[in-house]
Chain A
Amino acid sequence: MRLTPKAATLLVLALLVALTPFFFPSGYYYRVGALLFVNGIAVTGIVILTGYAGQISLGHAGFSGIGAYACALAPTHLGLHPALAIVLGAALSAVLAYLVGRPILRLKGYYLGVATLGFGILVSMVLNNERDLTNGPDGIDVPDLGLRALLETWGLDLTNGQFWYFFCGLSLILGAWLALNLYDSPTGRALRALHGSEVAARTVGVDVARLKLQAFVISAVYASVAGSLLALQNKFITPDVAGFMHSIEMVTMAVLGGVGSVLGAILGAGILTLLPQVLTVFAEYEQMVLGLVMVLVMIFLREGLLPSIFKAIRGKGE
């Protein structure tokens, strides 16, 4: 029996989440794993936007910022449970993505890049400047999700690190499953047609503007949920989450691993999450190595790491 790409991806992710903890020498590795999964969720959104629909965003961290601050503010100001705040953040991000996306998705290439960049900068500026609401650049406390305590009453006693590792891991698997289903759906096929050639897609009757907008809105929701999970996990958030560098990081992760597939993008997220942890040994050279890795992968493994690895394996098999 041959596995479909969808089943294979989900199986790899499930094994990764379930088995790697057996090799963790200390609790710190749960933290790194949880971060990897959160970044994985964000880049899955980028796969839908860039990999499926072929659109660029240099401002997606703005949506992460909205998701994160929804979890910080909604419980205290609206009395919402933090879990519902995730939903509220995602809804807000979707609405905003819809409103912003309509005009700017008419732009192409670098023009779309600068427009999304501008959007991201505006969000981070609001988070920085509206001190009365957000407490400004110093950051703000985020309430506890409360789920770990609930699990404890059911007899499932996890450390904080373990809880977030598994919670984010399961969220990632869910997110990947949804993205893969979208890929196989009629919308997904239309999106890929759009990526191939916008003109061709239009001539065969695809509503290009609506599709792009859909991809943009969905990817915004992914970024927002990732921001929420980060905020809840850290129990503290600063406007950095919406910063320009964070937007770039998201795109880089996805493209590095292979923006065409969910698993590839998650691999990219894994590398860029682990790299800074590994490079602490050469702290002085960290920036140079990071820059060099970005350049080299993009030059020599154009489609990203994972597709290139597959190609190499297949090449050998023949």
Chain B
Amino acid sequence: MSELLQFLFSGLTVGAVYALVALGFTIIYNASDVVNFAQGEFVMLGGMITWFAHAQGLPLPLAALIAIAVTALLGVAMNKLMIEPARGAPVVSLIIITIGASIFIQGGTQLIFGKEIHSFPAFSGDEPLRIGGATILPQSLWVIAGALVVYVALWLFFTRTLLGRAVLATANNRLAAQLVGINTSFVMTLSFALSAAIGALGGMLAAPITLTAYNVGIGFALKGFAGAMLGGMGSPKGALTGGFLIGLIEALTAGYVSSQYKDAAAFVVILLVLFFMPQGLFGRKSTDRV
């Protein structure tokens, strides 16, 4: 029993990081139909900038705020300089643009901060909490709480605020949104800022557990992408569920089957789900997104 509980804790910790990445994917996708493969780099920047600012002697909360703000600005810059000029380009081109952006950000980070692995202290210490014979780090609770809070905030934003509905409207039909007076360009900028900030938040929360380095982004991006697709692209509920599911599948496969093929298990599940539900678990079925 305690064994199962430990596997679940492990899955939830990792799943929460994936969920945060997947949530970031969702916002940009909703606003622009772009799957931003550089999302993982936002996560990496969140960790790296927090580490750097903290190492310069700033208190951790301030360092974290700086990291989130800087990353959000970069997100805006990426939208203005790379995504907006490419509006209307086919899916393959957009994939290549965002992967190009991801390689560019990695190269820049490596030049500025070097290639070493870094970490900073956990927010509430390293003493594990013992529950039913299993253990979980307080930092894991921070990450899990982070994912849940971001989800609830997004849900409120998309359903309860005018701006949030404007984002959804833009996603559904850009031209119609413009006609009813929505500033779609602002909506895009906002989405990139939000998405980058959420990525950075995730990276900052996770770094004390996962450690951080200039090249950790691509791994997060792949798993987050998989999570978002499993849940159904564009749905925050799907992103949250998909992210946690992938984390749990990995941990349970590692625990009960084979740690060598735990990543394989995650992708097999995705293939199976897509086979029966081509739009993912919670994806919208009506709109054709090609």
Residues of A within 8 A of B (CB): 50, 56, 58, 103-104, 106-111, 113-115, 117-119, 121-122, 125, 129, 244, 248, 251-252, 255-256, 259, 284-295, 298-300, 302
Contacts and interface: CB of A to CB of B under 8 A. Distances in A.
Given A298-B89, A299-B86, A286 B107 contact: yes
Given A104-B274, A110-B289, A114-B274, A290 B103 contact: yes
Given A56-B92, A118-B271, A111 B278 contact: yes
Contacts of B210: none
Interface in B99-133: 99-108, 110-111
Interface of A is mostly: helix
B289 A294 contact: no
B149 interface: no
B111 A291 contact: no
Contacts of B99: 248, 252, 294
A109 B278 contact: no
A123 B280 CA distance: 23
25 contacts: A50-B92, A56-B92, A58-B95, A103-B275, A107-B274, A109-B290, A110-B91, A113-B91, A114-B229, A114-B270, A119-B271, A122-B264, A125-B264, A129-B260, A252-B96, A255-B93, A285-B111, A286-B107, A287-B103, A289-B107, A291-B104, A294-B99, A294-B103, A295-B97, A298-B89
Interface of B: 35, 82, 85-86, 89, 91-97, 99-108, 110-111, 222, 225-226, 229, 233, 260-261, 263-264, 267-268, 270-271, 274-275, 278-280, 288-290
Contacts of A289: 107
Contact of B102 (A251, A256, A291, A299): A291
Contacts, number: 130
A287 B96 contact: no
A121 B280 CA distance: 19
A214 B96 CA distance: 25
Contacts of A244: 222
Contacts of A300: 85
A142 to B, nearest CB: 25
A58 to B, nearest CB: 8
Nearest to B110: A287
A146 B83 CA distance: 50
A302 B93 contact: yes
A91 to B, nearest CB: 23
Nearest to B276: A103
B242 to A, nearest CB: 11
A298 B263 contact: no
Contact of B107 (A119, A256, A291, A295): A291
B289 to A, nearest CB: 6
Contacts of A286: 107
B278 A107 contact: yes
Contacts of A285: 107, 111
Contacts of B97: 294-295, 298-299
Contacts of B274: 104, 107, 111, 114-115
A121 B89 CA distance: 27
A294 B99 CA distance: 8
Given A103-B275, A108-B289, A109-B91, A255 B35 contact: no
